[in-house]
Amino acid sequence: MSKKRRRRAPRDIGNRGVGAAPPAGANRDLRDSGAHRTIGAQQLSPLYRYAIILSRGSLFGQVLRRAGLAYDDETAALAASPLGMFFYNQRFLFFALGFLYIVALRVAAAFTGAPKTRTTVGLIFVFWLTAVVITLLAHKRFIRKVASHMEQTPSSDFPPVFYSYVVFDSVLVLGLVLLASWQFHVDLHYFAFLLLANTIVYCACAGAHVSSRRTFAAIPVLLLIFIAALLIVTKGMRNDLFVAFRDIGPVLGMAVVAVMAVAIVSAVRQREQKLMHSQVEMLGRLEVDLGNIPVKPEAKVTAKEQFERRLRVALKRLTTIDNPFGYRGVRIWFVDERDENAAYLLPGPFHGVKSINVDVSALQASPELLQSKGIRVVQNSRELPFLPAPISEDSQIAHESAAYVPVLANGRLAAVLTFYGLPEDPGTSHHQETFLHSVSAIIADALVQADVRHSSQATETIDALFHFESLSDVLPRAAEVFMKSTRAEACLIATRAANEDTKVRIVAASGFRRKTRDFEFSGDAVARVATENKLWVAFDDEIDADVRLRLESLHGRPVFSCLGVPFSASGPGSGLVLLVNSEGRAPWFSQNDVNLSRRLAHLVGRLIERFDRMESTEASLKLAQHREKDANEARLHAVSLATQIQNNLMVMTHQLQAPLSSMRASVIRLRGKIQHPDSLRYLEHIQGLVEDSFALCWGTVATFAKDAGTDTSIDLQDVDAMPELESLAARMQKTNARDDLKFEFYAEPDFPNIRIDRFVFTSVFYSLLHNAMKYADKNSRVEMVCGFEAGKAALKLKSLGEPIDPDEREDIFQMYKRGRVVTETGRHHAGVGLGLWVARQLLKEVEGTIDVEVSNRLSIFIVRCPIATSGGQA
């Protein structure tokens, strides 16, 4: 047959038969379920079913189990090799059927008169028995060998453990034939065909071990033994050697053809199985190589770069010289859609054939290419559709077979795989076709995953920026993320000062060669991205000349494409992210770049918003802290001032006591020396005023001193309250010029003396009387009643005048507190609000209390204090 290679037209495998299911998902379906569907739908032939039964498990074991014998023939290890199990069961069947044959032969011998029938049956039985016994004896050794082989080579390969049985069986059969012929003159020459059967079995074993040449070398030897055996046993019957050879010839021809056929079929099947096995293994590795690529945010290598590295390794593995796939070179071309009207093929990683099309830049993809979804295999790589002929240092490649495999992701052409350098005719192997579909599907899945990972990595990196403390640290990093995750050569982030502003100012940039700080765009295409809150994608001539000039002046390089993405922070169109691309392999922005940039820009908006809020919160916090500090300082100052005032008041009132005391003593002396009534009246009035002042001073200093923690002395004395009150009221009427007031005094019968410090008594009632004189209505009556309440003396002072609000009953006893009638009307403004507070504090010192009861304009001040123990009486 001529070896000349026949040129074929490129054929679209995808349009034929099983391969006509181009989408990636469909490819996977075909691979995963189609094959199973095919097998499941087939009607199994009885022969195939028999083969399955024989190769699934030990028949011997089954028979024993059915017979109720608990014997395990320990062939579990052999179950991994269907062919091995088949031969094991075949031997068992042979022995079983042999036994039935001997029984049948014995029955036939009983009904025939042929000579030496008993001898013949006996001989056969002896040899059968010998074979069975030796097989059983060698079983343990056989099992050990199987287990050892399976341990070393855990695969479904045929184990090389049957050769010794072939030799043993051959020797046994040969022995039977020769012994029967020479010793017993029994003609068993047809048993020599068992030798032939044994040889064929051996051939099947040898075919299964295609790698071993020695096993094949044994085949002629076995054939020679078979021929020799036939010649020897038939010599007696055919004295003529010619006749013997004449009879042997056809038998020999049949034997050679049978042996060769079995050996070759077995070898081919074994090779196919290995090929399939290694291809499935290769697909598994491809899936592992391209799947589960760990991605860390902020890693130096992007998920896409990582994917391309892995892809390079995977393609290298696919095209390794001793691979079962056969191709020597491969290149992937990524489909890149610049816009709706233009798509390009970008050369990706390659391997196998040195520098295939290494200088090729982006190739414009024709609509036919984008629509082409089937695998094509050509005999010559120059005939690959849509692609230029490969330029390679390997000149042989042009004359070898090549394959064009589209990679479809989500129904769109995502990439194209081109395989080169298959030295043989690719043929129409269904396996090859399925394998290519599978490779394409795995790469398509990996491409989709890589895109997702790439996008996640970028968004996670931006997310991580939310933990930073300052916007000035964050924005340059965000610009770098844009550059790293898109095709941009430079990136800038610009913001608007206010929503009305038509200008945008650069706040961060990366990749620009000139200084961008405080650079502004006003009213141009860049600014409009923010002001109109609109995406801007422009390529080459689509960029305004002046904008291009400005961008090129910043970038220091030609600018071929721009991508402006608006973001919203405090409001829509707060700013934009502008990406620029210069000349290069693909100087435009892909749809993936646009989609990813939109997501990232949204995050940048959130980032700016967050930091704005933080700044505003921090400013508010600082202001609040500042105000709190001021308030604290003011409070401390007020407290200090109040304390100072209190101290000053205390010192002043304390120091006033000395001259007042001296003045009082002087007046008293003077009153003893002067007789004139007018002078005496004046002196009495002066003494009254001095006493009032003294009471005022003493109460204040004593209470303040107590309030400041100084221990004051109390001299409890028995005081007859009523005359003291009368005297005090009379004096104060004069000193306060309230002659209009009428004082009435009433004491309950047996009202006793009270136990009180005299100074406290004077000071308390001075305050109460002074109050009454300030607020009592003109010409009203002031009643002073001495009675009892709950075992205590209760001295009541009743007056009609400016009403006290019932809600203020307690308030008026607090320091510096005055009733509303004073604070709101301005009436009776004299005083600072200390009198009633002083009265209550002093009474506490003597275990007394003071309260007020009010009813319209009537006020009743009730002073309770202990009764004198001496029993003195008013």
**Which residues in this chain contact another protein in the complex, by CB under 8 A?**
654, 657-662, 664-666, 668-669, 672, 694, 698, 701-702, 705, 710-713, 715, 759
Q: Please report how close the Cβ of residue 706 comes to another protein at its closest, in angstroms.
A: 9
CA distances from 580 to 538, 556, 627 (A): 10, 12, 49
Nearer of residues 380 and 717 to another protein, judged by Cβ: 717
Tokens of 517: 């700080």
Nearer of residues 127 and 704 to another protein, judged by Cβ: 704
Q: Please report how close the Cβ of residue 641 comes to another protein at its closest, in angstroms.
A: 23
Say if CB 525 and CB 536 are below 8 A apart: yes
Q: Please report how close the Cβ of residue 762 comes to another protein at its closest, in angstroms.
A: 12
Nearer of residues 5 and 758 to another protein, judged by Cβ: 758
Q: Please report how close the Cβ of residue 867 comes to another protein at its closest, in angstroms.
A: 24
Phi, psi of 293 (to 5 degrees): -80, 115
Q: Please report how close the Cβ of residue 675 comes to another protein at its closest, in angstroms.
A: 17
Q: How many CB atoms lie within 10 A of CB 874?
A: 17
Q: Please report how close the Cβ of residue 864 comes to another protein at its closest, in angstroms.
A: 23
DSSP-assigned states of every residue in 699-766: HHHHHHHHHTTPPPP--EEEE-HHHHHHHHHHHHHHHTT-TT-EEEEEE-TT-B-EEEEHHHHHHHHH
Q: Please report how close the Cβ of residue 759 comes to another protein at its closest, in angstroms.
A: 7
Say if CB 796 and CB 862 are below 8 A apart: yes
Nearer of residues 503 and 664 to another protein, judged by Cβ: 664
How, if at all, do strands 376-378 and 363-364 pair?
A: unpaired
Tokens of 167: 């030799």
Q: Please report how close the Cβ of residue 691 comes to another protein at its closest, in angstroms.
A: 9
Q: Please report how close the Cβ of residue 719 comes to another protein at its closest, in angstroms.
A: 15
Nearer of residues 409 and 696 to another protein, judged by Cβ: 696
CA–CA separation, 648 vs 659, rounded Å? 17
Q: Please report how close the Cβ of residue 822 comes to another protein at its closest, in angstroms.
A: 30
DSSP-assigned states of every residue in 478-546: HHHHHHHHSS-SEEEEEE-SSTT--EEEEEEEES-SS--TT-EEESSHHHHHHHTT--EEEEGGGS-HH
Nearer of residues 702 and 773 to another protein, judged by Cβ: 702
Q: Please report how close the Cβ of residue 699 comes to another protein at its closest, in angstroms.
A: 11
Q: Please report how close the Cβ of residue 640 comes to another protein at its closest, in angstroms.
A: 22
Nearer of residues 217 and 665 to another protein, judged by Cβ: 665
Helical (H) or strand (E) element with 401: strand 401-409
Contacts of 208 (CB under 8 A, 6+ apart): 83, 157, 158, 266, 267, 270
Q: Please report how close the Cβ of residue 686 comes to another protein at its closest, in angstroms.
A: 14
How, if at all, do strands 412-422 and 401-409 pair?
A: antiparallel
What does the CA dihedral 692, 693, 697, 703 come to, rounded to 10 degrees?
A: 20
Nearer of residues 234 and 700 to another protein, judged by Cβ: 700
Contacts of 525 (CB under 8 A, 6+ apart): 536, 538, 543, 544, 547, 562, 564
Nearer of residues 384 and 695 to another protein, judged by Cβ: 695
Question: Which amino acid is located at 395 in the chain?
Answer: S
For the chain, the distance separating the N- and C-terminal CA atoms, rounded to the nearest angstrom, is 157
Q: Please report how close the Cβ of residue 794 comes to another protein at its closest, in angstroms.
A: 27
CA–CA separation, 22 vs 572, rounded Å? 44
Nearer of residues 689 and 705 to another protein, judged by Cβ: 705
Contacts of 367 (CB under 8 A, 6+ apart): none
- In the block, residue with structure tokens 């507070």: 837
Tokens of 466: 């939310």
Nearer of residues 78 and 760 to another protein, judged by Cβ: 760
CA–CA separation, 159 vs 715, rounded Å? 124
Helical (H) or strand (E) element with 785: strand 781-789
Nearer of residues 706 and 817 to another protein, judged by Cβ: 706
Q: Please report how close the Cβ of residue 472 comes to another protein at its closest, in angstroms.
A: 60
Nearer of residues 156 and 712 to another protein, judged by Cβ: 712
CA–CA separation, 414 vs 726, rounded Å? 115
Tokens of 848: 């007394």
Nearer of residues 119 and 712 to another protein, judged by Cβ: 712
Helical (H) or strand (E) element with 609: helix 591-673
Residue 342 is given by DSSP the state: -
Nearer of residues 7 and 673 to another protein, judged by Cβ: 673
